[in-house]
């Protein structure tokens, strides 16, 4: 692949995704594996990268690899640190990861942090926010990033002003797979419908009743044979509704962009019911755009 210019890496807890990028910015190849941060010791990151990208590398010369995500966590390849908000989502310096293969030059994007109004951190989402701003220069608003730990980030004048994380996705996974509710929850997601809508509305109006509502799923399954698919919709709706209730200052009357794929649709539907017509952007596109911005920072430093 003589046209290879650099490699973009989205390296999360559970998977690694790579893009080979050409000199004109075109994607030449893609690859992914389950070699996420959670499965690797520090010495295993370089072999995991080479197992996917080794065939892309030239015989000589170092190819820059720009990575974001949990690869830069304290338990990752190297601790890339955090930059305190308010600040641009991306800024130099990037953290250099140690490598033994001379064909690699690996750089990791730092995360973002805040202490007030509440302590919070993000890794990977800062790169997606940068990708949103690349597509919307000069835009002010709120970026919603659903996931295991959902983020709501306020963006103004090219900076992340503040943000808030919610463990909604992790709570859903724990409750549906490890709690007493697991006996009556369908294993697969379906498109949200009327049961989801009603559940969102319930916790938006009375979020304090969430814990009681959760057990009602178990009771209704035992007493009335509640359909597992309906139970899954309600659980999702209640948890997302509770998140929206707490995040109301972030979306009420604001211009909102949701980053994501299938899960983003559920958030968009829930917000639409509250009169918020959020725009949607795909995770892959904004991640790659953000990594390209990080690559541009390295070019300014002559890397």
Distance CA 160, CA 90 (A): 10
* Domain 4-117: CATH architecture, name and number where available: 2-Layer Sandwich (3.30)
Q: What was the pLDDT predicted at 189?
A: 81
Q: What was the pLDDT predicted at 123?
A: 97
For the chain (303 residues), the mean pLDDT of every run of 10, in chain order, is: 87 96 94 95 96 92 96 96 97 96 96 95 98 96 96 98 97 95 90 94 95 95 95 97 96 96 94 97 96 94 74
Domain extents for the chain? 4-117, 166-281
* Domain 166-281: CATH architecture, name and number where available: 2-Layer Sandwich (3.30)
Q: What was the pLDDT predicted at 130?
A: 98
Q: What was the pLDDT predicted at 2?
A: 57
Q: What was the pLDDT predicted at 127?
A: 98
Which residues, in sequence order, are CB contacts of 161 under 8 Å at separation 6+?
85, 86, 154, 155
Distance CA 297, CA 230 (A): 48
Give the global pTM: 0.94
The HSE-up count of residue 139 (CA atoms within 13 Å, CB side) is 19
Q: What was the pLDDT predicted at 99?
A: 96
């Amino acid at each position: 692949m003589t046209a290879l210019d650099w490699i973009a890496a989205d390296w999360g807890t559970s998977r690694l995704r790579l893009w080979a990028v050409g000199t004109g910015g075109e994607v030449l190849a893609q690859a992914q594996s389950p070699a996420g941060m959670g499965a690797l010791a520090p010495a295993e990151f370089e072999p995991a990268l080479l197992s996917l990208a080794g065939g892309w590398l030239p015989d000589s010369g170092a190819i820059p690899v720009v990575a974001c995500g949990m690869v830069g966590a304290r338990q990752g390849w190297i601790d890339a640190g955090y930059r305190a908000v308010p600040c641009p989502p991306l800024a130099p310096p990037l953290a250099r990861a140690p490598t033994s293969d001379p064909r690699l030059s690996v750089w990791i994007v730092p995360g973002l942090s805040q202490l007030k109004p509440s302590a919070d951190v993000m890794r990977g989402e800062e790169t997606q926010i940068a990708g949103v701003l690349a597509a919307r220069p000069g835009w002010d608003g709120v970026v919603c990033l659903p996931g295991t730990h959902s983020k709501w980030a306020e963006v103004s004048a090219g900076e992340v002003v503040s943000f808030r994380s919610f463990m909604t996705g992790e709570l859903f996974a724990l409750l549906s797979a490890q709690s007493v509710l697991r006996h009556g929850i369908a294993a697969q997601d379906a498109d949200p419908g009327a049961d989801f809508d009603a559940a969102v509305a319930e916790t938006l109006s009375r979020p304090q009743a969430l814990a009681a509502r959760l057990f009602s799923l178990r009771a209704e399954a035992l007493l009335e044979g509640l359909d597992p698919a309906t139970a899954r919709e309600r659980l999702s709706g209640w948890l997302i509704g509770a998140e929206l209730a707490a995040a109301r200052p972030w979306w009420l009357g604001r211009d909102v962009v949701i980053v994501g794929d299938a899960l983003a649709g559920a958030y968009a539907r829930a917000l639409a019911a509250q009169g918020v017509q959020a725009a949607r952007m795909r995770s892959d596109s904004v991640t790659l755009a953000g990594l390209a911005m990080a690559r541009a920072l390295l070019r300014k430093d002559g890397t």
